[in-house]
């Protein structure tokens, strides 16, 4: 994907990255090819699941069965104990991307983050309901290394496309584990 972005002559001043090791590793791969700095932004992190964080589905069902049911059936009702709701995560991520887009002085913006908040962002931009489970939200799905392309004009995002990662098992990705 880094080579693809370079071949497109991406014009960016920096890479905006979530703070997790996985997002930063991806940002470092891009940085090597694009020769721009990385700015770590905490609000680009993944959905915070509170007491469900880093637990298996089975453990989560024991600790908080109602929240897991909401995750699968209606994200608007999903609010894990000591975590953030799906709506809070969607708003946090959207507002951060909007601020970056408004203040960036270059043509292109690169943001590296995680699947679920990106999916929530896509749902917000495409005006899709969160009154269904996470897996049922009808948006172009992104996998590791895909690029979601948007335009931002007149304080509005417009979805253009998702560019799939054709090389998910590249040596650089494998080297990071």
Reported as a single tens digit per residue, the pLDDT across 50-92 is 888 888 778 877 888 888 777 778 888 888 888 898 889 999 9
Look at residue 38 and tell me if it is in a domain. yes
Exposure string of 85-108, with b = 16+ CB inside 10 Å and e = fewer, is bbbebbebbbebbeebbeebeeee
Look at residue 54 and tell me if it is in a domain. no
Query: What residues pair up with 156 in beta bridges, in sequence order?
Result: 153
In the prediction, which pLDDT does 171 show? 57
Residue 161: CATH number of its domain: 3.40.50.1240
Look at residue 66 and tell me if it is in a domain. no
Tell me, what DSSP letter sits at residue 59?
Answer: H
More confident residue, 114 or 42: 42
Q: Which helix (H) or strand (E) holds 148?
A: strand 147-153
Report the chain's mean pLDDT, rounded to a whole number.
Answer: 82
Confidence class of residue 169 from pLDDT cuts 50, 70 and 90?
A: low
More confident residue, 169 or 161: 161
Look at residue 167 and tell me if it is in a domain. yes
Look at residue 32 and tell me if it is in a domain. yes
In the prediction, which pLDDT does 177 show? 41
**Residue (of 60, 27, 51, 29) closest to 41 by Cα position:** 27
Q: pLDDT of 116-164, one tens digit each? A: 888 888 888 888 887 777 777 777 766 666 778 788 888 888 888 777 7
Q: Is the pLDDT of residue 170 over 70?
A: no
Look at residue 75 and tell me if it is in a domain. no
Phi then psi dihedrals of residue 152, to 5 deg: -135, 110
Look at residue 19 and tell me if it is in a domain. yes
In the prediction, which pLDDT does 55 show? 80
Q: pLDDT of 85-111, one tens digit each? A: 888 999 999 999 999 999 988 788 888
Look at residue 79 and tell me if it is in a domain. no
Q: How many domains does the chain contain in total?
A: 1
In the prediction, which pLDDT does 61 show? 79
Instruction: Supply the range of the domain harboring residue 39.
Output: 2-46+104-176
Q: Is the pLDDT of residue 26 over 70?
A: yes
In the prediction, which pLDDT does 176 show? 44
């Amino acid at each position: 994907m880094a080579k693809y972005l370079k071949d497109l002559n991406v014009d960016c001043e920096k890479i905006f990255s979530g703070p997790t090791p996985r997002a930063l590793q991806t940002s470092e791969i891009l940085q090597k090819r694009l020769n721009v700095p990385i700015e770590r932004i905490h609000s680009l992190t993944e959905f915070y699941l509170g007491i469900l964080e880093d637990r298996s589905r089975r453990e989560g069902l024991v600790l908080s069965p109602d929240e897991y049911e909401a995750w699968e059936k209606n994200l608007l009702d999903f609010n894990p104990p000591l975590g953030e709701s799906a709506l809070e995560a969607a708003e946090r991520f959207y507002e951060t991307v909007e601020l970056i887009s408004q203040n960036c002085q270059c043509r292109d913006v690169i943001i590296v983050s995680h699947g679920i908040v990106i999916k929530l962002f896509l749902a917000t931009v495409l005006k899709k309901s969160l009154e269904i489970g996470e897996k049922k939200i009808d948006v172009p799905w992104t996998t590791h290394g895909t690029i979601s392309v948007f335009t931002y004009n007149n304080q509005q995002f417009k979805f253009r496309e998702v560019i799939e990662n054709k090389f998910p098992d590249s040596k650089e990705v494998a080297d990071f584990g």
